[in-house]
Amino acid sequence: MSLKGETKKRKCPPGAPGGVRVMDKTDKSVTLQWSRGADNHNPISKYTIQYRESSSKDVWKTATTSPADVEGDKENATVVDLLPWTEYEFRVIATNTLGTGEPSSPSPKDRTLEALPVVAPSDVGGGGGTSRELTITWTPVQPQYYYGPNFGYIVAFKPLSGYEWSKVIVADPQAKRYVHKDSSIPPSAEFQVKVKAFNGKGEGPFSLTAVIYSAQDAPTKAPVSIDGRALSATEAIVSWLPLSQTNIDGYQVKYWRTNEDNEGGAQSVVVSGRENHTRLEGMKPDSHYVAEVRGYNSAGYGPASEQLQIHTKKSPPSQAPRIIGKKFKGQSINIAWEQVEPKANEARIDGYKVLYRQQGHTLGTLYTTIKRHIDLPMHTDGIYVVEVRAYTEGGDGAVAQVQITAGSAMAAQSLSVLSLLLAALLCLNL
């Protein structure tokens, strides 16, 4: 019987408290109440209160309380140092001299009261934009610092030498820029700008004041002395005299086919303001193009130059040379091919390019010739590739390849010499 009695009175950590609920709250604190759990025959010495934000899911943190230590005979406490207008859950854990018990079930979710914003937007700056605009930018306040509903921003700005601030309301809490359009704004003028947050409770502090510049005017002059020519069937080059204006960020070159395209489908190339020429790529062979150049900056594009007419070259031959010979001659090898006959819409053949490279390598020795054969130096070992293609003013044509194994070539040459020697000896014996 005594053993049974001892088993029933076995001491262990306390059970979980129950009925945790919020009884009162402010913008930064809540007062909790709970019911004692079983002490399991050992007095409860203290309580620990934990909280988690609704957005943090399973991350529980130990709360700061008032008083700092919650004695074991208490069934209420105030949690402090919370964020305004934030939804929380709370739980309570009891401890005695034998250990810490299981936590209570979470309290119903509850939100602290709203408060004035205390965090101002950061990284306030801006500038640029199109003509007659003032662009103001900032880094938005994080949602945990909204501190209340109806969150937004108040943007203030004035000319550097002015006294009166203009203010506008931006109601989007995620907004990160505001563009003020006014035809009276002078180009490249200095402005002071600052931004602060507001919510349904009121307004917070302004950010640090920043100095920015209004947008500059777009270029007013067109580039002159436009020149250019076709480089091949698909490329051309265009040049111009740089604009003397100091507000040029770069140049745009637009080009399109006069018969098949219109300006809406034009291709374009953009280069920096330091450049006065550029290549046009992706063009169609044997086609008439129009090109025009204009300067630009952050405010927009200036007027277009006079149009330049460009006629691309005919396309290179689509037929590859047919290699008809591969003969070993002492320390060289002779490669021969048939003449490539271009089609009516293809460019005239100016000659042939021969690339001699080791297999697996992209670089090698490049030869040009107007003949239909070439002598190449033999190597003592390795596998080599010979590539032959026609070249024209429209570019290079299709390529033909032949492979050379240097070791077998030398062996074949030695075998040929040996055969001649044997034939000579047979003649002498006769």
Amino acid 428: pLDDT? 57
CB atoms within 10 A of CB 406: 16
**pLDDT of 420 above 50:** no
pLDDT at res. 417? 45
What is the model's pLDDT at position 413?
Answer: 47
pLDDT for 174-198, tens place per residue?
Answer: 999 999 999 999 999 999 999 999 9
Q: Which CATH number fits domain 122-213: 3.90.550.10, 2.60.40.10, 3.20.20.120, 3.40.1160.10?
A: 2.60.40.10
- Provide the CA 337 distance to its chain's centre, in angstroms: 50
Give me the pLDDT at residue 180, please. 96
pLDDT score recorded for residue 86: 94
Q: Which CATH architecture has domain 2-111?
A: Sandwich (2.60)
Q: How far apart are CA 376 and CA 388, in angstroms?
A: 12
Of 90-104, 233-247, 396-410, least confident by mean pLDDT is 396-410
Q: Quick one: pLDDT at residue 407? A: 61
- The pLDDT-based confidence of 41 (bands split at 50, 70, 90) is confident
Architecture in CATH of 224-311: Sandwich (2.60)
pLDDT level of residue 58 (50, 70, 90 thresholds): confident
Query: Exposed (0-12), middle (13-18) or buried (19+): which is 364, by Cβ within 10 Å?
Result: middle
Q: Name which of 29-33, 39-43, 151-155, 241-245 the model is least confident about.
A: 39-43
- In this predicted structure, what is the pLDDT of residue 426? 57
pLDDT value of residue 425:
53
Q: What percent of the chain has pLDDT over 70?
A: 92
Is the model's pLDDT at 27 over the cut of 50?
yes
Q: What is the pLDDT of residue 408?
A: 56
Q: Which string of DSSP letters, residue by residue, matches 273-340?
A: TT-SEEEE-SPPTT-EEEEEEEEEETTEE------EEEEPPPBPPSSPP-EEEEEEETTEEEEEEPPP
CA–CA–CA angle 413, 414, 420 (5° rounding): 95
Fold match, 122-213 / 323-411: yes
Strand partners, 291: 255, 308
- Compute the average pLDDT of residues 331-339: 91
Over range 45-69, report the average pLDDT: 91
Residue 288 has pLDDT above 90, yes or no: yes
Decide: 98 and 115 in contact? Cβ < 8 Å.
Answer: no
pLDDT confidence tier of residue 201, bands split at 50, 70 and 90: very high
Q: Which band of pLDDT confidence, cut at 50, 70 and 90, is reported for residue 410?
A: very low
With bands split at pLDDT 50, 70 and 90, how would you rate the model's confidence at 80?
Answer: very high
Predicted confidence (pLDDT) at residue 418 exceeds the cutoff of 70 = no
Asked if pLDDT for residue 429 goes beyond 60, the answer is no
Stretch 82-110: mean pLDDT: 94
252 in helix, strand or coil? strand
Average pLDDT in the chain: 90
Residue 8 pLDDT: 56
pLDDT at res. 263: 72
Task: Break the chain into its structural domains and give their ranges.
Answer: 2-111, 122-213, 224-311, 323-411
Top-confidence residue, 338 or 406: 338
Q: Pick one of 3.40.50.12160, 2.40.110.10, 2.60.40.10, 3.50.50.60 as the CATH number of 323-411.
A: 2.60.40.10
Round to whole Å and give the CA distance between 25 and 87. 12
pLDDT at 148 over 90: yes
| CB 300, CB 218: distance < 8 Å | yes
pLDDT at 105 over 70: yes
With cut-offs at 50, 70 and 90, classify the pLDDT of residue 287.
very high
Whether residue 261 is predicted with pLDDT greater than 80 in this model: the reply is no
**Consecutive H or E run containing 203:** strand 202-206
pLDDT in tens, 266-276: 999 999 999 99
Going by pLDDT thresholds of 50, 70 and 90, the confidence category of residue 373 is very high
